[in-house]
Amino acid sequence: MTATIKTDEEIIKMRDAGQAAAELLSMLGTHVQPGISTDELNEICEEYTQNTLRATSAPLNYHGFPKSVCTSVNHVVCHGIPNDKKLKNGDIVNLDVTILKDGYHGDTSAMFAVGKPTVKAQRLMEVCREAMQIGLRMVAPGVRLGDIGHAIQEFSEAANYSVVREYCGHGIGSVFHEDPQVLHYGVRGTGMVLQPGMTFTIEPMLNIGKRHVKQLNDGWTVVTRDRSLSAQWEHTVLVTDTGYEILTLRQDEVI
């Protein structure tokens, strides 16, 4: 497994793509409300990407994915396909967007509550976000990926949530998914050693119930086997000379 080290010019393009993705996700989140369908969110996403950002929705037609955004509702873990079902009060939804701009990708996702979530759903979302933040704050030259995975797993399981293991973070750049794989569980002192110029995502998925998942017959949608609620947060991060830079940080967001 090897990771590409981005040049200064490539990092500038990654920043631009990351900020475009952050802007898109923030805008899309304002439309999450009871009564809107995920298909409608997909249409808003595609229109904004093309006409405002002057960019491309990387998920659209990626290995056959039919939409411009992944919308994962309640017990859907990831890769939910937008449809005409309307969101209702109490739902939680992950919106996962990836922008391709000037040849480089920005990839990010966040959880949104539809109306008023249950206490259990709210806590799941908050703990999952903190799990991602723990991983991000560890990024620095010399750190091993296994250290990051272990820290995320230890925190999440101590909070009584299970960590999905079948899906992970990934290297990203001119290629949507590249090395390294970034697991959200692991053993200290193992895995790739981080170097300045690496760019990858950290995107833990936590379940209220057991960690086991299954893919539906559509070939994309992944759900919890026990139909328990699931949450995910994601940022694209750059390893700098002294630490990290979150390329998809949203305006007014604090990590």
| Threshold 0.95, pTM exceeds | yes
CATH numbers and ranges of domains, the chain = 8-246 (3.90.230.10)
* Tens digits of residue pLDDT in 42-65: 999 999 999 999 999 999 999 999
* Tens digits of residue pLDDT in 126-155: 999 999 999 999 999 999 999 999 999 999
Rounded distance between C-alpha atoms, residue 95 and residue 70, angstroms? 6
* Phi, psi angles (nearest 5°) of residue 37: -95, 160
* Tens digits of residue pLDDT in 155-200: 999 999 999 999 999 999 999 999 999 999 999 999 999 999 999 9
Q: What angle do CA 221, 55, 42 make, to 5 degrees?
A: 35
Write the CA distances from 9 to 104, 108, 180, 225, integer angstroms: 11, 21, 21, 44
